[in-house]
Amino acid sequence: MKKFLVGCGIGLLFLSMTGAVNAAMIDVDLDSVASGTNISSSFNGVTFSMYQEISGSFGADTSVFAVELTTGNNVFGHTTPLNSLAAAEWKHESSAHKATLKISFDNPVDWFSIDFIANSDGDKGQLQSYNSAGAGLNTSPLSTAILSNGAVQTLQFSSTDISSALITGVGSTVMLDNLKYNSTNPVPIPSTIFLLGCGILGLAGANRKKRQK
């Protein structure tokens, strides 16, 4: 019995010090905010920015907004006027201009997905993921099929230590929506668990002293 009590006490003490891992899927709901809202830092656990290159020179990351489409749904947007379709279009080009959605997770995740929406025939999207050291996790960018106007395709990627991702259209524009990701953050264990562990160890010690008498 004494060994059992000691084991329980030590286990609870260890649990109280290490914490538990809480895994949960997070759904970034752009429809929960008004169209035109700067959402760069509006959602806990993730930051959004527009990663751009103009004429071969990289500029500073700029803000990302919720943009309402004619369907009444908000998608990721990046330019003004925010009521125009151009504000919701993401495109990667090899020459003049790049508009890429950059996602940065506060803590590394192990899975995420995002929807690509075509606004014309022949649209195609891609994503590239990076670890906390900035190294690419994809051997090559993960791409959608060539989409027809209005088609939606979800791309998902899983790996350890996903810290950020770059997401855009390839040779044509796409719209982006419905980011989901796994959150795996340690959750502190209440101090009562620590006290319970100490109490069990105390009972074990008292029982030992009683037997010795």
Tens of pLDDT, residue by residue over 3-24, are 544 444 444 444 444 444 556 8
Q: Domain ranges in the chain? A: 2-15+190-212, 21-187
Contact 47, 104 (CB under 8 A): yes
DSSP designation for 188: P
Instruction: Return the CA Rg of the chain.
Output: 25
pLDDT more than 90, % of the chain: 49
Average pLDDT, the chain: 77
Q: Does residue 137 surpass a pLDDT of 80?
A: yes
- Tell me if the pTM is above 0.85: no
Give the CATH architecture of domain 21-187.
Sandwich (2.60)
Q: In the chain, what's the furthest Cα-to-Cα distance?
A: 88
